[in-house]
Amino acid sequence: MVATYSHHDRATGFWHLRAEKRAGVGHAVIGTAPAPVSAVRMLPPAEPYPLTALDHRFVSVDASGVFVRGHGPAGAHSDHLRPETAHLLLSLAAHSR
């Protein structure tokens, strides 16, 4: 399971925190999991993801440097349609072979 997060995501940060008393997965790293969690930074499309970074049951990808655009109360919640996101998805597919 791979989850991205950005501190600029106010929908799962500020608002989720108010409603449920804790930040959501899109704002913070994956919390407790039944297996170790690999934490990596989202990479630019020209930089390959090493297999060792993604070869885990749980991967938490810090996209705070990429998912930054957004206006209004949700912040950067929907700023995921980026080349970096496609690069991550294609890297996961390539490593699964």
- Give pLDDT, residue 48: 96
- Nearest one of 58, 78, 23, 66 to 41, comparing CA atoms: 66
Rounded to the nearest integer, the mean pLDDT of the chain is 81
Convert the pLDDT of each residue in 27-70 to its tens digit.
566 767 777 788 899 999 999 999 999 999 889 899 888 877 77
- Give pLDDT, residue 40: 93
- Give pLDDT, residue 26: 61
Residue-by-residue DSSP string for 48-92: PPPHHHH-SSEEEEE-TTT-----STTBTTTTT-SHHHHHHHHHH
- Give pLDDT, residue 93: 94
pTM: predicted TM-score of the whole model, two decimal places: 0.78
Q: d(Cα 48, Cα 32) in Å, to the nearest integer?
A: 28
Mean pLDDT for 5-9 is 78
- Give pLDDT, residue 23: 59
